[in-house]
Amino acid sequence: MNLPHLMGIFTIMQIDVRSLKRFLQDKKGEIAAAHRAGARGFSTCLALSSLLDEVLRTGFAQLAPQETEHVAILTLGGFGRRELSPFSDIDLMVLCDSGESRKAASDAARAFLHILWDAGVDVGHSVRTIDEALALHGATFDSWMSMVESRFLCGNAALAGKFSDLMRRHIETQPPHWFIEGVLADVKSRHERYGSSVKLLEPNIKKSAGGLRDLQAAMWLYRGTDASYFALEQQDRCASELFVDRLHKDGFLDAEAHAESLRALEFLLRLRHEMHYRRESLHDTLEYALQGDVAAALGYVADDPRRPVEVFMRDYYVHARTVYRLLQTLGQRFREAVERPRPTELHGDRVGSAFILYEDALSASPELQSFADAAQVFEVFHLCAEREISPDVRLQGLLERSAALIRTEDASSPELAAHFRHILRSERVAATLHEMNDCGILPRYIPNSASSSPSFNTTSITTLPPTSTR
């Protein structure tokens, strides 16, 4: 079910704040009812974003022209992407041209925020000149990242256009390594905190591995380093949906991966909306106590031998796996771009058929551009398990691009079975299986294991506890 009656511009000009608050509450109620009736996740995001757009524009229009003529209001984060959930944070940047207009901008921001608070809209905000905003490049990763997702809302359009052009110029001309490293470090720390497996028993559907933040991280990598991806702007589409479509158009995703990615996003967004409505708060942790009610609300009924909640969680794992693999695949070239080159092979020991063992990683020899067969792929994991070490970034990329070498008939291969037994008997079994899973090798060797069945749960053989942190 779509929300065409909520997707356009809401006509509410020059009304008092109480009427604005009532309007906001009424429209939120309509959006919630449409969600309960089956509205798509993307549609609910757009309806909420369009509603907030017009409420904020209406509030801004109450200010005197002299207060607003030198100010532009930009939306940031999920609001900037048009991907609001019912209780998402609302973040804005009040932009002015120079230090001389900064006091006027701060005064306008204060008056604007009072109107919004009275209307029942709680927003986070910053006030910056263009120079102050651009100075964040290379200095403050989080703030620059949020501006990469910025969207002009109201105020001085020429000022916003000038800022957008300068942002694009920075992306085109400034070294991107600091930003790539920042995104990758953010992914690593987030997965360490909220869970690095898609098979958590109580996942955070935004921040755990395979959550919505993984897709956003992939989008940051592209939008923050490629100016052609910077302006993903269309009135009736979410930025993530546009991003996935663009990846397909540019050949980074084939038709099947494109469709799977959109299905995964749609599922996760609709799930997040339901969780927010259930808890009446910004709530992204899918606890046991919530899973049954959410499954029922999303249409999982007892027409299967398994319990509806089991079918629902299986679907969650499948979609989370799709998003996680998307980040891993898209992020590979960025990881390779910022990783320091390995020393020559003379500084490492030759091991196996075509590999070099360093103190901190296993690497492929320079002449190895692709694997000869499935046995050589399994040899990598055998060596990693035996030497208690991980493949380096280049070798990980080769592994990810070689998953198709694992064929159905290889499940009965004695040579692969021998490698796999060595892995299972090693001290490093959990980490090695996790790496096989991340590279897409394990799901090919044991179909329906890590990618689609909740019965194969890599967290059950690691020390990673279920995540219950919001």
What's the CA gap between 83 and 212, in Å, rounded?
A: 11
Structure tokens at 311: 């079918």
Structure tokens at 355: 């590999």
pLDDT at 162: 95
CA atoms within 13 A of residue 278's CA, in its CB half-sphere: 21
**Residue 364 host element (H or E):** strand 362-364
Hunting for tokens 């470090």 — which residue is that?
A: 185
* Beta bridge pairs of residue 285: 204
50 in Cβ contact with 10 (< 8 Å): yes
In SS3 terms, 94-149 reads as: EEECCHHHHHHHHHHHHHHHHHHHHCCCCCEEEEEEHHHHHCCCCCCHHHHHHHHC
pLDDT at 455: 34
* 470 residues of the chain, pLDDT tens digit each: 444 444 333 334 445 788 999 999 999 999 999 999 999 999 999 999 999 999 999 999 988 888 788 899 999 999 999 999 999 999 999 999 887 778 888 888 899 999 999 999 999 999 999 999 999 988 888 899 999 999 999 999 999 999 999 999 999 888 889 999 999 999 999 999 999 888 899 999 999 999 999 999 999 999 999 988 887 666 689 999 999 999 999 998 889 889 999 999 999 999 999 999 999 999 999 999 999 999 999 999 876 556 899 999 999 999 998 999 899 888 888 887 887 665 554 467 889 888 988 887 888 888 888 898 999 999 999 999 999 998 887 888 788 888 889 998 888 899 999 999 999 999 999 989 988 987 888 888 987 654 443 333 333 333 223 223 32
Mode of pairing for the β-strands spanning 349-351 and 91-96: unpaired
159-162-164-166 Cα dihedral, nearest 10 degrees? -140
What's the CA gap between 29 and 33, in Å, rounded?
A: 6
Whether the pTM exceeds 0.85: the reply is: no
Query: Rg (Cα) of the chain, in Å, rounded?
Result: 25
Mode of pairing for the β-strands spanning 124-129 and 91-96: parallel
Hunting for tokens 């100016």 — which residue is that?
A: 227
273 in Cβ contact with 85 (< 8 Å): yes
Instruction: Please name each of the domains of the chain with its CATH number.
Output: 4-174 (3.30.460.10), 179-338 (1.20.120.330), 347-461 (1.10.110.30)
